[in-house]
Each structure stands twice: as structure tokens, then as C-alpha cells.
């Protein structure tokens, strides 16, 4: 099956007063219809920048410096703003962290869902209002006809996130990017919201990119996991493979630092050092090298991504 | 000096904290004052009893809105309870108005580490100022003695002294968390309330902060009340755990026992919702819906009734009491079996 999204050698830089930040370097991944790919990593690893850059939402300081990103055959990196704005919300939609901040506080949630339907599906105001109620029903909001008139402040965080999902999937996009969709929600609400996203993806064949810092959430909800560190995808494999047989030292470190439902504090290991300064001109080819206990002299050679097994790609000269 | 100040006789005894039948209700507006009707009340904390032994760590878990924060504000005496008692050592604190307790000599014995030190520390204070502030305010320290005490607290928290002159925005997340902890342990409290101390941190940094908290507990003999959303973290750090639902305690017990084998259906749902590496668990335990309203709840109905997968008619007419089970466990459910 052809991929919904095919990203290759995708690089992004930000110009700042203190230098050029090489935020993404040769990021590559694909997402197939119905597939959920999780982008995981710590803050500053470039997960969100990837999403924003793909959808043309970077601020003025940021620009795509290379590579390609094909969404259903359309090249996003060179697309005009008009093309991108026709794609955004229609073929590729995004869910943001903190739904209450992302929703418009002074318009009812029904109107906000209706906006998407009018803009991208060309519905009349009346049809859009009816469609909005349908969408609220689809994301499991009880009494949708009444709730359509509610404002975001009248709804709980979990309800607001469901409204965001309703806005995102109203036009049946081919790709949904969910940026930390459940951060700040209770685990019980998180489970319900993730269930809804999973069900909608299964019903419509929508591809999903799940951006999260929670490895366990990714393990539970994604078929494939791509681990990011300092703007590189360091390892990309099927979830079961990545958990059972992580090969990149950073992935292993990340797993060893994550508390689980078993084990003791003494079993957990922190990751020494911190993310490298991405403004430095002499940034090491492997951005994890300074924190890595498997470093070899060869690690100073240019970084290459290779498949060490079918569908298991890593960027490491000395994999574990 | 490392370790607590000598404990006055009034604070001796095995239990540091003994909370009994504590409630906090907030009135909704002043409507009905002249019409003679009592205003509607938000029952934020309802009939909570718990104990905390010296050197023990008690976890406090539950969804947002379950009353964790209000309970913490009551325990730290930042707000006044409606009814109930808070015994700290041998002293009864519930009758002291929060305004007066702010100037009480025992104020320094109860300290809080707030969530996200980046937000909770004054951005115009350097790390040294932030750590010095409570010592100045509560212990009246100045000059060289203050400086020494600040450096000692920083050292205990693994904060390099050269960072003390930095402002919060110049520190990393982990360093800020250390400032928040150093600030709280500076006055040498007996009770430290930790409100989601690692929620804003990446896992790699979280580990070091949890390890720091364990080592401080051992070296200083502080008791912790640890509030967190992250059940896995609570399990790592806490001896016992209190599970709250809509203002009431629904389950208490040793943390591992409670999470490995929950007695209350709410705890079961909560534990089942935590993402796990071994894949999705069955949907039967999925908690759907939202909690009921905390405004004037039916005093004779289980708060979890309606959302509970077990609930029967009896749950709507008879509030389950917290019953004792083997292994130091308690649960408030008609159907809990130990």
C-alpha cells in the first residue's frame, strides 16, 4: 500500500540572535494508511517541530533547509502557502496539547467544528451545524445537540480534547498529527481519548502520528515507534521490536529511565549529560555521542542511517 | 548541621500526622443569605481520615478535581477546614486560623515543594534568594549564618554552588526542581508535601530527582506526602497510598499492594488506565464518563455510583464506609473483598 506520508532527509533550522539552531537533521519516516506512528523523545528532541514544519506552521525564524515530505503525492516542502492552507485541516489535521488553549474561547464548540465543515467540505451553515452535532456524537460526547452550544470553558479538559478531535477528523483527513494529545489529562480520560482516536483511525483508515514523551503510551497505542534525540530519529522500529530489542544506546537509556508498573527505583538509571547545544558549528555528527557509553572513534564519522533488520532503522555506529 | 533541629517534646510520638474526619466545603456564592436558604456547597474534601508515621511517605492519588489539592492545602494549613481535626505530633492545628499559623513557630515544620519550580519560584529571585527566603521569613536568619544555611541546603540537593546566583530561567528543569526542593528543606521541616514535583520533567531527569528525594528522606528523616498523577512514580516512592475520589478516601494501603491488587473498583479502573509496555489491557475496566458534581452530593450515595462498573441499587442509598482489610488495607466499597 502506498504511504500517506513519506518524509525523507527532512531538515529544519531556526535563525536566532545567538546562532542557527539545527533543529531537525535528515529526519525520515513513512506512515501508511491506518497506521499509528509514535514520535517519542524528551523535550527539545524535535518531535513538535517535525509536526509544525510538515504542516507549514513554523514561525518566521524557522525554515525547511532540505529534504522532502510527500503527503498523498503532494510535496509539502515546496508547496505554496495557499496549497498548504487547503491541505491543512482537510487532508492533514492536527490536535494540539492543552485543548482549552487551542480552542477559541469565545465561540461555541459547535461553531468551531462547523467552521471546518464549511471551509473544507463546502457545507452550508445549516448543514455544518448538523454535521458538528454528528461529529460530537462520533467522539462520544453525551447529549451532543446541547453540548454543541457550549463554550470551551464549560467543558472538562477531556471533553475539550474530544472537541479538538472532532474538529480534526470532521473532514476525514488522510493524516492526523496528535501532538501530546493527552498531556495534562487524567489517565482515565487519557484512555478514553486514545480509544476514540484509535477507533476513528480504524474506521476511516486515517494514518496517525502520535507525538508523546510517554514511551508506555506509545507502546500501547502505536504500531511503530520512532525515537528522537536532538533533532535526529535515532531508532525506528515496530513497537514490539523496539521494546524487546532496542539497538540504539539512547533508546535503551530512555527505557531504563522510565518507571514501570514493576521494578524498583534502584533499577532506574538516569541519562547522563543533556541535549547538545544545537547552535554549535562543531556539533558532533552523532548528537548522542557525548552522552553515550558505547562511543567509538568511528562515531566521529558522518552519521548514517541503516536498516539493521527489516523495518528496523537506526543511526548508530556501535549498536547494542 | 545536617538533620533536623532537635524535636521539641510536643512533637514526639510515632505518628507525625493524624487527620480525623476532615472536611472542607466551599459555599457557592452568597445567594439565599437573606431568604434563609443555605447556599449550595462544593464538598471538596469530605470526611477524610489518615495518618502519617515519622519517616513515612504517603502517596495521594486521584483524578483532577478529587480534592487532592484542597487536602494538601488543609494539611499545610494554608486554608481552614470546615470540620475535623489535624493533629501534628501532639498539637491540634485545625483550630488555628491559617492567617495565624503563617506566623506560628511550627510553620517551618511543614513545607511544600510546588509543581513546576519554573512557575512557582519568583522569576526575579536568584536561586540563592529563593532558598534564603523561607529561612529569612520563618527563622529570622541573616548574614553569614543565612548564607551558610543556603549553601548547605543547595549542597544537600545536589545543586552546584556556582548556580546559586542564577535566575530560574537560566536553570534547566532539573536544576529548578532542585531549587524548589532546597527551598523547602532549608527550614528543616518534619513534614514535606510534594505536589507533583516531577510532572514537568523528562524521565531521564525525573529519576535523579526521585533518587534525591529518597536520599533526603533517609538523611534528614523527613516524612513526605507525595501527590502525583503518575501511579508508577507513586509506587516507586511511597510506602502507603491514599486513593481519593470526589473528596472522599476510597482506598488506603501499602502502595504496591494497592496497585498490584486494588480492592476498590475505582482504583482498579485507575490502575488499568495507566499505559503499560506490555500492551493494552482489556476494556472491561475502562472508566467512562466523568465524576459526578461535587456540589451538594447525596450524602447517602456512593460518590462513584453511576460511573462504577459494579454499582447496584444499594450503592445509591447507602454510602459505603471505609472498611479494614488484611495487610493494613482499607477500602470504601460494599463489594470489596480482601
The ipTM, to two decimals, is 0.88
3-state helix, strand, coil in chain A (%, to 5): 35, 25, 40
Interface of A with B (CB under 8 A): 42-43, 156-159, 186-192, 195, 213-217, 219-221, 243, 253-254, 257-261, 264-265, 268-271, 274
CB distance from B231 to chain A under 8 Å? yes
In the predicted model, what is the mean pLDDT of residues B118-130?
92
All three cell numbers of A13:
533550522
Give B169→chain A minimum CA distance, Å. 16
How far apart (Å, rounded) are the C-alpha atoms in residues B290 and A73? 42
Contact B211 A216 (CB under 8 A): no
All three cell numbers of A240:
514490539
Q: Give the pLDDT confidence of A104-124 residue by residue, as tens digits.
A: 999 999 999 999 999 999 999
H or E segment and range at residue A6: strand A5-16
Cβ-based contacts of A259 with chain B (< 8 Å)? 203, 206, 230, 232-233, 235-236
What confidence tier does B36 reach under pLDDT thresholds 50, 70, 90? low
Contact A270 B207 (CB under 8 A): yes
Cβ-based contacts of A291 with chain B (< 8 Å)? none
| Residue among B245, B241, B216 at smallest CA distance from B230 | B241
Cβ-based contacts of B231 with chain A (< 8 Å)? 187, 261
Give the number of C-alpha atoms closer than 13 A to the C-alpha of residue B91, restricted to the C-beta side: 14
Contact A216 B287 (CB under 8 A): no
∠ at Cα B136 (B132, B141), nearest 5°? 100
User: Which residues have C-beta within 8 Å of that of residue A133, sequence separation ≥ 6?
Assistant: A110, A144, A145, A148
How far apart (Å, rounded) are the C-alpha atoms in residues B338 and B330? 9
CB A174 within 8 A of CB A33: yes
Amino acid A135: pLDDT: 94
Amino acid A158: pLDDT: 87
Q: Say how many C-beta atoms besides its own lie within 10 A of residue B280's C-beta.
A: 15
Q: Give the pLDDT confidence of A206-237 residue by residue, as tens digits.
A: 999 999 999 999 999 999 999 999 999 999 99
How far apart (Å, rounded) are the C-alpha atoms in residues B74 and B45? 9
Contact A259 B283 (CB under 8 A): no
Of A155-159, A166-170, A227-231, B176-180, give the lowest mean pLDDT range: A155-159
How far apart (Å, rounded) are the C-alpha atoms in residues B262 and B1? 43
* pTM for the whole structure: 0.91
In the predicted model, what is the mean pLDDT of residues A139-167?
92
DSSP characters over B186-218? TT--SEEEEESTTTTS-HHHHHHHHHHHHHHHH
CB distance from B292 to chain A under 8 Å? no
Buried residues in B217-251 as b, exposed as e (16+ CB within 10 A): beebebbbbbbbbbbbbbbbbbbbbbbbbbbbbbb
**Which runs of consecutive H residues, i.e. helices, occur in chain B?**
68-75, 98-101, 117-120, 127-139, 143-156, 173-185, 203-220, 231-237, 255-260, 265-273
How far apart (Å, rounded) are the C-alpha atoms in residues B292 and B77? 27
Contact B208 A270 (CB under 8 A): yes
Contact A187 B274 (CB under 8 A): yes
Amino acid at each position: 500500500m502506498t504511504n500517506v506520508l513519506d518524509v525523507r532527509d527532512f531538515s529544519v533550522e531556526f535563525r536566532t540572535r545567538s546562532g542557527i539552531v539545527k533543529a531537525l537533521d535528515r529526519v525520515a519516516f513513512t506512515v501508511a494508511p491506518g497506521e499509528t506512528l509514535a514520535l517519542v523523545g524528551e523535550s527539545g528532541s524535535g518531535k513538535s517541530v517535525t509536526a509544525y514544519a510538515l504542516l507549514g506552521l513554523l514561525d518566521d525564524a524557522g525554515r525547511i533547509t532540505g529534504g522532502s515530505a510527500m503527503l498523498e503525492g503532494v510535496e509539502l516542502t515546496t508547496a505554496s502557502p495557499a496549497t498548504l492552507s487547503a491541505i491543512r485541516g482537510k487532508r492533514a489535521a492536527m490536535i494540539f496539547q492543552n485543548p482549552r488553549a487551542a480552542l477559541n474561547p469565545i465561540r461555541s464548540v459547535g461553531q468551531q467544528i462547523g467552521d471546518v465543515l464549511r471551509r473544507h467540505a463546502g457545507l452550508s451553515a445549516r448543514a455544518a451545524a448538523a454535521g458538528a452535532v454528528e461529529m460530537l456524537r462520533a467522539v462520544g460526547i453525551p447529549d451532543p445537540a446541547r453540548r454543541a452550544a457550549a463554550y470551551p470553558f464549560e467543558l472538562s479538559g477531556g471533553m475539550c480534547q474530544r472537541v479538538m478531535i472532532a474538529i480534526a477528523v470532521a473532514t476525514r483527513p488522510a493524516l492526523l498529527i496528535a501532538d501530546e494529545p493527552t498531556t495534562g489529562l487524567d489517565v482515565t480520560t487519557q484512555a478514553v481519548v486514545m480509544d476514540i482516536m484509535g477507533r476513528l483511525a480504524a474506521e476511516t483508515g486515517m494514518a496517525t502520528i502520535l507525538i508523546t514523551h510517554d514511551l508506555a503510551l506509545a507502546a500501547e497505542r502505536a504500531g511503530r515507534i520512532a525515537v528522537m534525540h536532538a533533532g535526529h530519529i535515532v531508532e525506528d522500529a515496530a513497537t514490539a521490536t523496539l521494546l524487546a530489542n532496542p539497538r540504539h544506546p539512547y533508546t535503551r537509556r530512555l527505557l531504563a529511565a522510565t518507571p514501570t508498573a514493576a521494578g524498583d527505583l534502584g533499577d532506574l538509571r538516569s541519562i547522563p549529560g543533556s541535549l547538545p547545544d544545537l547552535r554549535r558549528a562543531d556539533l558532533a555528527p552523532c548528537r548522542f555521542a557525548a552522552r553515550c557509553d558505547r562511543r567509538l572513534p568511528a562515531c566521529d564519522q558522518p552519521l548514517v542511517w541503516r536498516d539493521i533488520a527489516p523495518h528496523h532503522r537506526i543511526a548508530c555506529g556501535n549498536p547494542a | 548541621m545536617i538533620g533536623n533541629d532537635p524535636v521539641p517534646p510536643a512533637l514526639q510520638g510515632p505518628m507525625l500526622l493524624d487527620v480525623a474526619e476532615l472536611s472542607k466545603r466551599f459555599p457557592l456564592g452568597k445567594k439565599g443569605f437573606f431568604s434563609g436558604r443555605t447556599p449550595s456547597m462544593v464538598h471538596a474534601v469530605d470526611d477524610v481520615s489518615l495518618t502519617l508515621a515519622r519517616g513515612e511517605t504517603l502517596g495521594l492519588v486521584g483524578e483532577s478535581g478529587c480534592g487532592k489539592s484542597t487536602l494538601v492545602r488543609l494539611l499545610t494549613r494554608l486554608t481552614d477546614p470546615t470540620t475535623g481535626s489535624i493533629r501534628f505530633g501532639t498539637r491540634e492545628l485545625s483550630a488555628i486560623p491559617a492567617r495565624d499559623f503563617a506566623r506560628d513557630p511550627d510553620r517551618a515544620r511543614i513545607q511544600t515543594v510546588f509543581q513546576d519550580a519554573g512557575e512557582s519560584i519568583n522569576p526575579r529571585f536568584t536561586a540563592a534568594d529563593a532558598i534564603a527566603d523561607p529561612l529569612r521569613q520563618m527563622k529570622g536568619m541573616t548574614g553569614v549564618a543565612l548564607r551558610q544555611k543556603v549553601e548547605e541546603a543547595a549542597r544537600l540537593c545536589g545543586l552546584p554552588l556556582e548556580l546559586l546566583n542564577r535566575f530560574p530561567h537560566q536553570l534547566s528543569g532539573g536544576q529548578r526542581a532542585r531549587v524548589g526542593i532546597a527551598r523547602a528543606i532549608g527550614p528543616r521541616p518534619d513534614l514535606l508535601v510534594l505536589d507533583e514535583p516531577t510532572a514537568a520533567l523528562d524521565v531521564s531527569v525525573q529519576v535523579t530527582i526521585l533518587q534525591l528525594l529518597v536520599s533526603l528522606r533517609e538523611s534528614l528523616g523527613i516524612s513526605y506526602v507525595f501527590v502525583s498523577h503518575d501511579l508508577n512514580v507513586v509506587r516507586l516512592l511511597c510506602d502507603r497510598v491514599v486513593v481519593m475520589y470526589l473528596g472522599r478516601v476510597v482506598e488506603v494501603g501499602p502502595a504496591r499492594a494497592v496497585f498490584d491488587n486494588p480492592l476498590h473498583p475505582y482504583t482498579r479502573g485507575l490502575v488499568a488506565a495507566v499505559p503499560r509496555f506490555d500492551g493494552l489491557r482489556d476494556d472491561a475496566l475502562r472508566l467512562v464518563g466523568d465524576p459526578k458534581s461535587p456540589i451538594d452530593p447525596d450524602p447517602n450515595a456512593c460518590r462513584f455510583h453511576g460511573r462504577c462498573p459494579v454499582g447496584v441499587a444499594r450503592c445509591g442509598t447507602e454510602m459505603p464506609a471505609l472498611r479494614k482489610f488484611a495487610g493494613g488495607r482499607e477500602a470504601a466499597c460494599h463489594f470489596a473483598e480482601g
